[in-house]
Amino acid sequence: MTAPLEGLLVLDLAQFLSGPSAALRLGDLGARVIKVERPGSGDICRTLYLTDTDVGGDSTLFHAINRNKESLAVDLKSADDLAALKRLVARADVLIQNFRPGVIDRLGLGYEAARALNPRLVYAGVSGYGESGPWADMPGQDLLAQSLSGVTWLNGHEGEGPVPLGLSIADMLAGHVLTEGILAALVRRGITGEGGLVQTSLLEALIDLQFELLTTHLNDGNRPPARADFRNANAYLAAPYGIYPTRDGYLALAMMPLGQLAATLPLPALEAYGAEDAFTKRDEIKRLIAVELSQQDTAHWLDRLRPADVWCAEVLDWPRLLQSQAFGRLDMLQTVQRGDGTPVRTTRAPVRIDGSRALSARGAPRVGEHSAAIRAEFGL
């Protein structure tokens, strides 16, 4: 069947992760995505290495975020190139940018200028901390955003300093939020015929990520979250919530009545603790559970706990996840290839439409790989 966004043209003027990841999602849903890059060096993300792994001259990070896109090389300091880009903007459905506040306006491609060129355009921008205010000019970088958001005080154990999450969660979540807003604006455009402005920031995405716990904080006297001293997994959840070592690995236990766990392990010592103790004596209880779970293999505990409807799971690393039958059935991996023949093994879209997951064999482009074809097609 036709992909949901087939026929839509998206201009990706963004760099790094958040904006380009939103363009990636739209491409997975069927949109045509043209990545607009500076000639020569292109998107800075091309040389932003997670490790020393280089694939065809670009970082694995760039390959992951920019598959299924075309590349148009444009020098925004050139009057001719800028005029050509404006002609392309007049034809586009969506424009995504993540320049620092004020930069895109100085180039003559701010929202009002773009709207004058194309009233149907959905114009999407992602910043670090909003377009104005005392943090507006700070670099919109993931670790900095995590540090400002409060989220680092939810990881690690009580008594430790702040611990960041080892993923670019601000970038990835901001990309998802931006995609959500773009899709909503496209639906509205289908009704009214008018485009619109969609904005978010790394900080807003992280605040939204914490909405469950922040709501608790805002309604219980603004008490700060108290991480567990032992096996912390959530600052607001009672024992036994956490990850515990077994004889041969690790086992995750989610929320459950202590009496249920006491009877199933079995662990008679737990029977002395009530529901309120699960919060007030959280670390004490977790230590009792940890001693018991360390006596047997993970498989032993899964066989015992799952039939009793105790919420638990084995803790897998990537090799074991990728080898699992459950992961294989999801069909989440693909090999893409770009024009020069460079293959990259990567993930697929996380959403299925009409029972099917988007699949594209085209990898991330080289800088300006499609410039000549795009200029000829659009008369640039």
Length in residues, the chain: 380
Question: What DSSP letter does each residue of 294-314 carry, written as one string?
Answer: TTS-HHHHHHHHGGGT--EEE
Q: Which of 350, 18, 13 is nearest to 168 (CA)?
A: 18
Please say if 171 is a catalytic residue. Answer: yes
Catalytic site residue from 12, 81, 93, 171: 171
Structure tokens at 167: 């993923």
Residue 95 in contact with residue 8, Cβ under 8 Å?
Answer: no
Q: In angstroms, rounded to a whole number, what is the distance separating the alpha carbons of residues 337 and 342?
A: 5
Helices (H) and strands (E) in the chain, counts: 16, 15
Contact (CB, 8 A) for 149 and 201: no
E strand segments, the chain: 9-12, 32-37, 54-55, 58-59, 70-73, 94-97, 122-127, 196-201, 242-245, 250-253, 312-314, 333-337, 343-347, 352-353, 356-357
List CB contacts of 25: < 8 A, sequence separation 6 or more.
Answer: 175, 176, 179, 349
Give the closest residue to 296 by CA, choosing from 249, 256, 347, 358: 249
Contact of 327 with 347, CB cutoff 8 Å? no
User: Which pairing describes strands 333-337 and 343-347: parallel, antiparallel, or unpaired?
Assistant: antiparallel
Neighbouring CB atoms inside 10 A of 205's CB total 23
Q: State the catalytic residues.
A: 171
